[in-house]
Amino acid sequence: MRIAPPISLNDDELSTLQRWSRGRSTQARLVLRAKVILAAAEGKANDKIAEELGTDAGLVGRWRRRFVSAGLPGIEKDAPRGGRPATARDDVAGKIVQWTTTHKPKNATHWSTRTLAAELGTSRAMVNRVWRANGLKPHLTRTFKLSNDRRFVEKLTDVVGLYLNPPEHALVLSVDEKSQIQALDRTQPGLPLKKGRCGTMTHDYKRNGTTTLFAALNVAEGKLIGTCMPRHRHQEWIKFLNQIDQQTPPDLDLHLIADNYATHKHPKVLAWLKRHPRFHMHFTPTSSSWLNLVERWFREITDKRIRRGTFNNVEQLIKAITDYIETHNQQPKAFVWTASAEKILEKVRRAREVLDKVQSA
């Protein structure tokens, strides 16, 4: 009788196998293999494991031996199969990757599986497989913008420093305006969400006016000071600064992170700031709204309350925004900034190098 090879697991192997065996986003065959090894580590015989898992003892023995000889990689992937290497298919795959990344169709901006298959004389299924294997998605693009601010490094370091190392006896507030929020009413009632069907709404709408949301996010606590006003001028900005002054502890300094909008630097605003020395302004670099945390909160209210809402007038829109802020402040959750200035600058450096190569090509 052949004795099964002994199985011993270290902590990392045990943790990985347990995670695989739970089956969350794990292939079914890998789930079975993980359960086989865990049972073998408990000292169970092959036939006993096969009976418990509803498989055969030969398969159990195979994966025990594979784990003993190669560890986790030995069971994570199948062993290479016999047969002649598919050199012709590999050549086509290489050509698909090359054409996808270096050529464009004559009458379009990007390839589809059909157009590239016709160009290279292969099947669209082959193109699709190669794209999936190499993570190529010609139909998708991502937007980006590198700031040309001459004081980019200085401003970036200043703002990130406030996030990662806020000053004592002070509040750090991320402030901005979400302007021209439209009170939209759909032209027809939408259908409700049902099992097997998402909710619907018409593509066209009726405009019933706009409002501007002024917001100040407390970076440490996640609470928000906000108000809506009909216009977006320095007069409204000063009113909002007065509101911040009234709704924050008077003994604390206030460090406000804002963008470079001209309203924030109007002479009357500068005069107001001079009369209120506890206010300290910190401006993000141009084209760097991603550096202002309140923008992340704006995305929350847009996705969860505004975009799919229906408003017959501006008053309804303002009430919806105000109610959302009040509910948010009952259980506030802070957005935690984790990226250091050094990591961001390194990423910007790499992006500039790639951009320079593209422009010089």
pLDDT in tens, 262-291: 999 999 999 999 999 999 999 999 999 999
Backbone angles phi and psi of 276, in degrees to 5: -125, 80
pLDDT at 165 > cutoff 70: yes
Q: Taking Cα atoms as reference points, which of 203, 184, 216, 185 lies closest to residue 298? A: 216
Give the C-alpha separation, 230 to 53, whole Å: 67
DSSP H or E segment with residue 62: helix 57-70
Per-residue pLDDT tens digits for 92-101:
999 999 999 9
For the CA atoms of 324, 329, 332, 336, the dihedral, rounded to the nearest 10 degrees, stands at: 80
Per-residue pLDDT tens digits for 181-196:
999 999 998 889 999 8
Coil, strand or helix at 229: strand
pLDDT at 123 > cutoff 80: yes
What pLDDT sits at residue 109? 94
What pLDDT sits at residue 139? 93
What pLDDT sits at residue 84? 66
Give the C-alpha separation, 314 to 226, whole Å: 16
Q: Which of 29-33, 84-88, 174-178, 248-252 has the lowest mean pLDDT?
A: 84-88
What pLDDT sits at residue 214? 97
Q: Which two tokens mark 109? A: 């901006």
Per-residue pLDDT tens digits for 320-348:
999 999 999 999 999 999 999 999 999 99
Per-residue pLDDT tens digits for 27-61:
888 889 989 989 888 888 888 888 888 888 888 88
Alpha-carbon distance values, 293 to 1, 70, 172, 185, 222 (Å): 67, 47, 11, 30, 10
Give the C-alpha separation, 1 to 7, whole Å: 18
Q: Which residue has the tokens 């580590």?
A: 41
pLDDT at 113 > cutoff 90: yes
Q: Is 93 left (phi over 0), alpha (psi -120 to 50) or beta?
A: alpha
Give the C-alpha separation, 237 to 175, whole Å: 11
Q: Which two tokens mark 240? A: 């909002």
Percent of the chain at pLDDT exceeding 90: 67
The pLDDT mean for the chain works out to 91
pTM of the model: 0.71
Give the C-alpha separation, 115 to 121, whole Å: 10
Give the C-alpha separation, 33 to 79, whole Å: 14
Percent of the chain at pLDDT exceeding 70: 96
Strands (E), the chain: 170-186, 205-218, 224-229, 253-258, 279-283
What pLDDT sits at residue 227? 97
Give the C-alpha separation, 210 to 183, whole Å: 6
Q: Kindly write down the DSSP assignment for every residue of 148-181, as one continuous string.
A: --TTHHHHHHHHHHHHHSPPTTEEEEEEEEEEEE
